[in-house]
Amino acid sequence: MIISFLIIIFTAPLQFIYWMKWIVSYAAIRLHKSFGCRKFELYDVTAKNDPYKSGLLIPEEEKRLESPFSDSHLLEALDEVYFFGVNSKSECILMRIIRIYNKMADAWIYLKLANGKTYNLRETIGYQESSDGKTFSCGKLQMHYLLPMRRWRIFYCGMLKLATSFETFNNRNT
């Protein structure tokens, strides 16, 4: 029975197989979108009388998602914030802070300038400062949101290390 089914499939016209695959794929995608995806539906452009749905005021869900986790949560998982930026001159910056249990944190900064020089952070492990519920900190690097999911302020007071081309090459290969 299986052999006869395989023979029918392989001897069927290719156009028929194409359309059968297309119909099955279309149905699978529709089912996944309607039942499988968890949507982030905080906004509705047609809502005229609700300032949260129209985007004028920030919903509490956004504040909850952007805020650092409590210290008790850090016993089970890490808390991380990551930023990437680039400008028209191909200068880029990568920054991240990972909060670890016991008031420890790991920071990382990578800055590449248009002249080809790259800089990175010298000290990566540091202590977290006490926060107000919207700040990630590690040593001299501090990031906090002004408007959740819209605007962040990043502070760094210190020196960055100039990475030689050999160090950059080794970091890319590891």
24-68 pLDDT, tens digit each: 999 998 888 777 656 667 888 788 888 888 888 888 888 888 888
What is the 8-class DSSP label of residue 124? -
The two tokens of residue 79 are 């808390």
Rounded Cα–Cα distance for residues 114 and 69 (Å): 36
Q: Are 99 and 128 in contact (CB under 8 A)?
A: yes
Q: 120-149 pLDDT, tens per residue?
A: 987 778 878 766 788 888 888 899 999 988
Rounded Cα–Cα distance for residues 169 and 174 (Å): 9
**Mean of the pLDDT values across residues 94-103?**
88
